Structure formats: C-alpha cells, structure tokens
Amino acid sequence: MTNILHISVSPHLRDSLSRRIGGELLELLRSEHPDAEIVVRDLAGEPLPHVDGDLATAILTAPDQRTATLTTAIGRSDALVDELIAADIVVLDLPMYNWSIPSALKAWIDHIVRPGRTFIPGPNHTPLLADRPVYIVMSAGGAYERAGRGHHDFLTPYLKHVLGWIGLADLRFIRAEGSAGSLDEALRDARSQLAEAPIA
C-alpha cells in the first residue's frame, strides 16, 4: 500500500490557494493509488512548537544518555521523523511569506532535520533518507519565476537545500504565482502545471 504524507501550511484553513491546489494534486495521486493511506499533517490547524532548550539538548544527546525529561522532549520529533520515513510520496502545500517559508514549516523542518536520524554530520555528510517524490505546491501573491524575478524567491532554493540535505532530491514544484494580481490566472497556471506534472 502506498503511504502519502500530506503537509499543509497555510493559516487560511478555507479559501487558501495552496491548500486548494494541494487538494487537487492529492486527488490525482488518489486516482493513481486508490489504496493509498493518506496521513495529514496540518501545521496551521495543529502547529508544532518551535525547538526549545530541552529538545535542542536531546537532539545532541545519545539516546542511551538522555534523561526522562530529554526523552519526553524528543518524542514528538521522533514521531515526525518516523512519519516522514514511512511516506512513499510527500505533498507539501504552502504560501510564500516574505520571499521564504512560513515559520510553521520551519518548526517542522527543525524537528525532522536531525543528526543521526536523517543525516550523518561531518566532512563526509551523508543523507539517511531514501529519495521519493516530494510535490511542493507554492502560492505567492507576487510573480517570481515566470516574471523573471526568481532572485527574490528564497523559498525554492532553501527547500531544495534543506530537503536535499536529508536525501530528498526529487522535488516537483507547482507554482501558483501572481495571485495578488489575478487569482484566476494564478489558478489556471497552477492547474496547467498539474496537468503536465509527472504523477508518481
């Protein structure tokens, strides 16, 4: 059975362009994998805490040396890593905020980019996750890539780098840009990309 992890980030639980396109993509994936198990991780509906002192210490402490407090602190992070490892396909839909990612997604990234769990640090850095398709549905009020203003887009290179760092290199971007100018045009453009996207 195919396991699909669907991560949504927009704080607009309704009327969100990224959630709308992400949902349409999920339906396409369901048609290809009718027996798929869908795991939903809504980072706006159920936000994750940012890294605190106990979690930061636990991440850098060997499992057999963690106190009960540190073991408790790292439990959620371990569950999120396990959830990602179990996924055959990842769907991530998010808005661009100030040319980058929302802090809700940064919190998730800080929970799952873990030395010893998702990568081995050091001079011979080694990603520990097997690659898999990661669909990234990004909405933005401004137009960037298609308007020749890609140098203002820090979201795309950041996600390529941080996800590649743990082994996820098969990133498939679907961009709904320019919605502040024309929501209909942004929606049409994103749907055109969906129609052409390789569906795993």
**Chain mean pLDDT for the chain:** 92
Alpha-carbon distance of 128 to 119, in angstroms, equals 5
Q: Can you read off the two tokens belonging to residue 74?
A: 């790292």
- Determine what percent of the chain is predicted with pLDDT higher than 90: 76
Task: Write the CATH number for 187.
Answer: 3.40.50.360
Between β-strands 134-139 and 89-95, what pairing exists: parallel, antiparallel or unpaired? Answer: parallel
Question: Greater confidence, 37 or 181?
Answer: 37
Instruction: Kindly report, residue by residue over 56-66, the tens digit of the pLDDT.
Output: 999 999 999 99
Residue 119, helix vs strand vs coil? strand
Q: How many DSSP H helices and E strands does the chain contain? A: 6, 7
The predicted model gives 106-112 an average pLDDT of 98
Cα-to-chain-centroid distance, residue 56: 21
The predicted model gives 158-174 an average pLDDT of 98
Whole-number pLDDT of residue 192: 86
- pLDDT for residue 52 is more than 60: yes
Global pTM value: 0.93
Whole-number pLDDT of residue 137: 96
Residue 88, helix vs strand vs coil? coil
Residue 82, helix vs strand vs coil? helix
Structural domain count, the chain: 1
- pLDDT for residue 200 is more than 70: yes
Between β-strands 126-127 and 119-120, what pairing exists: parallel, antiparallel or unpaired? Answer: antiparallel
Domain with 118 in it: 3-196
